[in-house]
Structure 1
């Protein structure tokens, strides 16, 4: 058996199935398209589900891919076992109603024994126990020894997920051990002990399981196979751990080099080395496919993996930022297979660096919070940290539970694990509830998501805005119908349409569909889960009937404004590259008839000068009245022509390139103006950050830009009237008034200081002694939070020993501060507990440390009662 590198194996597999007339597709992005059932792509067949379900026509009946996948269900086992990883690649070949068992079984055997040259005496095959057809093909069309074929039950060799397409499968296994396995029981035992490793699963999707549990034969059965690239690489490279195959080991060696920790010398440190290796690989792939760090969804998966890697770097003793060095190694080893890694390397590294910096800051913030918790526990003689506090550290501050446990252990303390797990489970339940129940494709079960793949609507709306066509499908939310009557809402599908369906950031068209028997208002146009154009309608007059001829007319004025904004986003994109830098890439957009929103990759806010330069550049190009042209070409031709493409998008054989003169050239399926002059005017109305490394510009064009400028002019006139000056003197007048306000504020602060210094003795003289502790509870009006804290410090220092609780009524709001000297903490004094009880009397809340706490309230009329409550709370604490 010859050694084969991971990249060599990937190419050998894809080339083999290309020789069997399969269309090789690049890996789909890790972010699912039109599939709400998945957070991230987790299997080779996942992006192809629309083809298996018949919702879309595949580009060819035979397809082969090497699909990037992410699974985090077993994240706790990553690094601890030889096979668990969050990122993996799945080799697959698929047939959509074309070939079946008679073809794939001998092809699989050919690839394994001839291309890979795996010895036949190292291979075993399993089949579903009732699948005599598969057994006969294995015996008659390959030279496998029949004694090496074992029949297993449904749990092992039958693929199904609830109702729908399903079928038996056959799996191919490699034997790492010596001797021949002669019976099923010994085979199962060998598999459980990891002597026998399954590496290729051939699924024969030949049934459709209905609600009653019946398995109905499919007229066009499918083939869905999956071979884990990392797993077959371990076999071909003679290793028993996915972290020791060539590409992954190269990354692990980089981690080892940076940490100074030798792999294999310490089993505990090996776990950290493997976790960092795996997680940074996943992080790199996720960011390359457009995922951004966040606190929810796939962004949270990314953030969790990145922080987990950073945490294990600390455990290995790595100082400072280091993850970008690992990213570089990932790109080196995977850039050949996935070129967008190289194209976006700088961007990926910047996102990772920013997130790692942020994590280091949160670790420090978390340490401060944890230290406060420890102080409270020591003061109250507690040994167990409440689960909700540990969860808050984990969830709010990104503080790993392992780190919390480690620090507490040093203090002889621990975490309440049961309540921590309860909080975690409640969070999962909330996440599940937020996702809701979904179907196979994650879509709702509306009839419009069950339209057959053979039904298509021709979009003619690039050039025709008013067309005649035939109504071919009518539906409401519950079923397909033959008629929609006045007042009813529903869905219409026609043979042709000028209505653009929402896509690529551009909203769907609105307008009118009219037949001889009625008229319907189209209030939205969208694609269903199978990519069919659906008109969302409400019938205004009469009724719309199936098979009627209809006139479809879009709202031209609205479309015109949308087109202005859409073309302006292309021009803005190019302007950003010229003004801000070539690293800028589109990270999302939204275009409607009122404004445009453009998200882009950049790591700092734009200066006023940059914003003005952008506006000026776009407006100058608008006034040059460039023709806007569209051309169909191959993706390679488009890239060679200099057209920009989104790095997380999947493109077909032919792409549409939109050019604004020689200024901008971009891949786009949307609608645009005929020439740039139609845009009229471009005005940026805001620029802000929306995520780590992502900025957002909002802008308006045409008549909306003019209205925006008119509103600004009106506001400026009103400001001039209020300031009693002309436009050119506005800034001077505001500056003058600000100076006067600052001077007055200074005078007020000085007066407040004199007022408070005069009452210090009165406050101290009001002290009462409670169980041997001096307690001051006093109200002073008109003093803000900062001045109240200063006064509290002065009183506490003069008091030398005791508790100070001060109240202040400022404009109908209550400020509270509680402070104590260190010596009374041992007697049971806890300012956080005092303030919590007292604040409730004045209609507020707050908390803090044992020696200092603060709060606010909204009921100043209750301050007197709160003062009395102070004494009783201290009496309760000091026993």
Structure 2
């Protein structure tokens, strides 16, 4: 049974029993606690936390959620049951059925006949676990379902009790296991061997509230939930293993084709007894799928956050392929293969295929350069270690290669082995653990931010805000809530910073890249200045305001006024963003899709997925198409319709955004621009005014950013540019259209003059120091030039001089040490001839000796090193110390 059919049977089973089907949310949600959605219940978290009341039909839902867990990327492939990306199928009940319902639903699907829509698993091979004292669940399994007592096992809190890791909903769970047979391990059920007995489904009976605690079981139950909920999770990939008769998740129809492609590309063999190679094949398969799905949801490689995770995944693919023997690019093959296997389950892949390939292939090219620089750094470190007679690469240097150069540790270990070195893995692991601890501490701190939204649940459920601001800038409303310093209050007075909740408002709350409105809340002499508006649960508007005059009570009737100039500028910028998006797609193609935006009065920035820098001609064409749309005065229409109809119209949606059943479509010029958008817009394109594109830049691998002005800000910018061009034309006595050529000519002449001056400077410098070789003194068996040169000679020039002297003294066992001061700082350079290096002298060691006296540091190769210091007064003593050091050699 193919994976897409397993998914389909799960959904059909629960829809037929009255559950509302909920599409998978994006891997990227607006949740400060998560980089990626990591569990099937995450999109339902507001309901379990009590922040919102679910409005699903019959109070039940079902979904197959795409998930990513990346806590221990380095462990991927070592076991054969865990993936970074996985599909979690679940059914959810909010105060409806409880333990018996959840157990019955699961058993019926698992053991139901294939011809009846079930999975057809042998009930005699199913085992279950329950929480230690959950006699109710055990009784249901035994008496209602008929599972023999000996196949029901009880486990403790670590295994059979669920919570989110923070104070909130929790409860015991019951897990279903499948006995794969004696060839997979010993008898005795899940307690005895969780490899033979594979967990496939977890049923969580959410009924309690837990308190604070650091570890999974280190907390107390502080109360009961007002209603009992069900949250289950079935692993699609694990069920696929069983129904396809394969040993592990890497052998299923989704991942095995990638391994086969890797075998063909690398020439290595899979499953032939080489455990290291098997892990590499599995890493390629796992990371190719995870990377592809993350790119699908709009992430591009970068050096932080989600982009950093994606970069690590893609680079581990490339590194694994190289260690297996690949010498040519591999990413295009792997990505095409995994997209072929995943498209039946995720049809949206087909529309994004070219973009996914573009991002992944670009990262492969970039990493090839990183490998070159990292290899150079490794070679330097390895040579220095072997020259010193040591045989271990310090863990700190291995971590630097990993963290700074993006060099994977196992590649470092492999190269060290080839160089005859070991790696201090204890020190490396310690550095890695420090980094993980910092990340976990930061994540833990972020988790607690999520709890505050429960403060607003009453209003979200019972009094959501009515937004009337699309066609009104002023409206009366009633104050239904006041929050000050995180607490509900009944009144506020002059000087208070407060969140005002109204039943009706014309003010736009920040969303979709558009900044919130500014304005005032008025009642008689009372004035509140509103400087921000935010939403809670997409239903409640929080007006963040300062009481400028008077006071305000709950129940007061007020007038809310939007700053008209602010709204006008914001509408111009937001509509201009839509035009630029459409223009970008015309010029660059359909793969250049939105990755983020910011709109505020007079200014916009637009991020989009594209790997290459735009040419001046492309940027000019985008600006021209945008302003042609303004000049055409396209009508701007808004349409409320269903999500399916909007997609049929060709409306574009944002990555990571969850849309309801009814959506708002903004159409500018008919087919010119059609997007799902809840923002405010002009009525006609001409109201945007001129759009001045300022330029484009990179915001990470595979992502670009265009910035622009709109309206009067654009006019002011263009006027200044025109005045500047006129001034330059007058100064250069050239027509404005000839300015680029004239400036290019002047720049070239200036560069040539600077180069000539630099050459003259170098020649004069070398001439003035030509007799330094003749001033060399004999120290022991060595020759030494150790001088403080006149002030103003920088480190680069000192390097030139010591290198020249080294050449003149190349036949001698000579050491050259020169210093100077620039702006009160010390610059220094050291060179050693080949005979000196062979006698054991290293320029870097000399830099360290001198550095102790000038409060400096530096480094380099054995024959050439440089550094800097902060104490010029220490130079004489430092040079004397160098003489003493050399004399003792």
TM-score range, shorter chain: over 0.9
**More off after superposition, 571-580 vs 749-758:** 749-758
CA distance in 2, matches of 1:394, 1:637: 48
Partners of 1:433 and 1:210 lie apart in 2 by 19
Query: What are the equivalent positions in structure 2 for 1:222-301 lying under 5 Å apart?
Result: 222-268=229-275, 269-301=277-309
Pairing 1:826-837 to 2, within 5 Å after superposition: 826-837=838-849
2:774 equivalent in structure 1: 765
Structure 2 matches for 1:616-695, cutoff 5 A?
616-662=624-670, 663-695=672-704
1:792 is aligned to 2:793:
no
Which deviates more from structure 2 when the two are superposed, residues 493-502 or residues 758-767? 758-767
Distance 1:822 1:656, change over 3 A: same
Cα 1:271/1:417, change in 2 over 3 Å:
closer
Deviation, structure 1 residue 792: 2.9
Distance 2:233 2:749 in 1: 75
Q: Per the alignment, do residues 424 and 279 of structure 1 end up closer, same or farther by CA in structure 2, a change over 3 Å counting? A: same
Query: Is contact 1:75–1:85 with CA below 8 Å preserved after alignment?
Result: no
For residues 446-502 of structure 1, the C-alpha deviation after alignment (integer angstroms, 9 at most, x for no partner) is 945886533311111111111111111111123111111110112111111111111
SS at structure 1 position matched to 2:254: helix
Structure 2, unpaired ranges of 5+: 113-117, 213-218
User: Are 1:209 and 2:184 counterparts?
Assistant: no
What is the match of residue 319 of structure 1? 327
User: Of 834, 838, 849, which aligns to 1:822?
Assistant: 834
Residue in structure 1 matched with residue 133 of structure 2 by the alignment: 130
Identify the residue that residue 42 of structure 1 maps to in structure 2. 38
Name which of structure 1's ranges 325-334 and 123-132 shifts more when overlaid on structure 2.
123-132
Matched, 1:98 2:96: yes
| Counterpart-to-counterpart distance in 2, 1:846 and 1:439 | 42
Distance (Å, rounded) in 2 between the aligned partners of 1:743 and 1:152: 79
Change over 3 Å in CA distance of 1:766–1:66 after alignment to 2: same
Q: Would you say 1:176 and 2:176 are equivalent positions?
A: no
Report 1:101-180 matches (<5 A): 101-114=99-112, 115-160=118-163, 161-177=165-181
3-state SS, counterpart of residue 398 of structure 1: coil
Partner of 1:371: 379
Cα-to-partner distance string for 1:702-726 (whole Å, 9 max, x where unaligned): 1101111222234445546766878
Give the whole-Å Cα distance in 2 for the aligned partners of 1:586 and 1:265: 45
The match for 1:220 among 205, 210, 227 is 227
Give the distance between the partners of 2:350 and 2:740, measured in 1 at CA. 49
Report the Cα offset of residue 53 of structure 1.
Answer: 1.9
1:472-551 correspondence runs (5 A): 472-516=480-524, 518-528=526-536, 532-551=540-559
User: Which is further off, 364-373 or 409-418?
Assistant: 409-418
1:574-617 per-position Cα deviation (integer Å, ceiling 9, x unaligned): 11111222221111101111310001122222222222222122
The correspondence for 1:25, drawn from 22, 42, 45, is: 22
Secondary structure of the residue aligned to 1:691 is coil
Q: CA–CA distance in 1 between the matches of 2:697 and 2:630?
A: 25
Size of the aligned set, in residue pairs, is: 869
Residue by residue over 1:274-321, the C-alpha shift from the partner in whole angstroms, topping out at 9 and shown as x without a partner, is 111111111111111112212222222212222222111111101121
Q: Deviation of residue 655 (structure 1)?
A: 1.5
**For residue 115 of structure 2, what is the aligned residue in structure 1?**
none
**1:440 offset after TM fit, Å?**
6.0
Q: Report if the CA contact (8 A) 2:41-2:231 is conserved.
A: yes
* Alpha-carbon offset, residue 700 of structure 1: 0.3
Distance across 1 between alignment mates of 2:801 and 2:146: 92
Deviation at 1:760, TM superposition (A): 4.8
**Residues 741, 288 of structure 1: alpha-carbon distance in 2 compared, 3 angstrom cutoff:** closer
Instruction: Return the alpha-carbon distance in structure 2 between the equivalents of residues 267 and 441 of structure 1.
Output: 47
Stretch of structure 1 that moved more, 738-747 or 631-640 = 738-747
For 1:592-648, what per-residue CA distance to the aligned partner results, in whole angstroms no more than 9, with x for missing partners? 113100011222222222222221221121122121110012222112212222244
Q: For 1:793 and 1:303, how far apart are their aligned partners in 2?
A: 40
1:59–1:768 distance in 2 versus 1, CA, 3 Å: farther
Counterpart residue number, 1:187: 189
Which moves more between the two structures, 605-614 or 135-144? 135-144
The aligned runs of 1:745-756 (5 Å cut-off) are: 745=754, 747-756=756-765
Contact 2:842 2:861 in 1 (8 A): yes
Per the TM alignment, residue 419 of structure 1 is displaced from its structure 2 partner at its CA by: 2.5
Kept after mapping to 1: 8 A contact 2:853/2:874? yes
Give the deviation of 1:538 after TM superposition. Answer: 1.0
Find the aligned partners of 1:517 and 1:191 in 2 and give their Cα distance: 74
CA distance in 1, matches of 2:872, 2:729: 39
Residue 750 of structure 1: CA displacement? 4.9
Question: Could you say if the C-alpha distance between residues 735 and 602 of structure 1 is closer, same or farther in structure 2, counting changes exceeding 3 Å?
Answer: closer
Q: Is 2:100–2:140's contact at 8 Å kept on the other side of the alignment?
A: yes
| Residues 1:85 and 2:83 are matched in the alignment | yes
Residues 446 and 133 (structure 1 numbering): CA distance in 2 closer, same or farther, change over 3 Å?
closer
Deviation at 1:694, TM superposition (A): 0.8
2:817 paired residue among 805, 808, 811: 805
2:10 counterpart (13, 22, 45)? 13
1:457 aligns with 2:461: no
- Matches of 2:643 and 2:239, distance apart in 1: 32
State the match for 2:430 in structure 1: 422
* Alpha-carbon contact 2:51-2:456 (below 8 Å) kept: no
User: Structure 2 CA distance, aligned partners of 1:809 and 1:725?
Assistant: 45
Q: For 1:275-424, list aligned pairs within 5 A.
A: 275-424=283-432
- What is the alpha-carbon distance in structure 2 between the residues aligned to residue 714 and residue 433 of structure 1? 53
Deviation, 1:840, is 6.7
Q: 1:786 to 1:284 in 2, by over 3 A?
A: same
Distance of aligned partners of 1:422 and 1:602 in 2 relative to their CA distance in 1, 3 Å threshold: same
Alpha-carbon shift at residue 49 of structure 1 (Å): 0.2
Within 2, Cα distance between the matches of 1:863 and 1:147? 83
TM-score by length of 1: 0.93
Cα distance in structure 1, aligned partners of 2:454 and 2:134: 36
Q: 1:67 aligned to 65, 68, 71, which one? A: 65
Distance 1:703 1:122 in 2: 73
Q: Is the 8 A contact 1:808 1:816 kept in 2?
A: yes
CA drift of 1:140 comes to 5.0
Deviates most, 734-743 or 317-326: 734-743
**Separation in 1 of the partners of 2:457 and 2:776?**
75
Question: What's the CA shift for 1:512?
Answer: 0.8
Judged with a 3 Å threshold, the aligned counterparts in structure 2 of structure 1 residues 224 and 731 are, in CA distance, closer, same or farther, namely closer
Change (3 A) 1:732 1:445: closer
Q: Taking structure 1 as reference, are residues 144 and 706 closer, same or farther at Cα in structure 2, changes over 3 Å only?
A: same
Deviations 1:776-806 (A, max 9, x none): 1342666666654443333212112212233
Alpha carbons of 1:496 and 1:172: their partners in 2 closer, same or farther (altered >3 Å)? same
Mapped partners of 2:725, 2:412: distance in 1? 55
- CA drift of 1:125 comes to 2.5
Offset, 1:531: 5.0
* Residues 573 and 709, structure 2, Cα contact 8 Å, conserved in 1: yes
Gap runs ≥5 in structure 1: none
- The secondary structure found in structure 1 opposite 2:446 is coil
The superposition leaves residues 735-787 of structure 1 with CA deviations (integer Å, 9 ceiling, x where unpaired) of: 56546545644553453354245345411012122232212134266666665
Partners of 2:301 and 2:702 within 8 A in 1? no
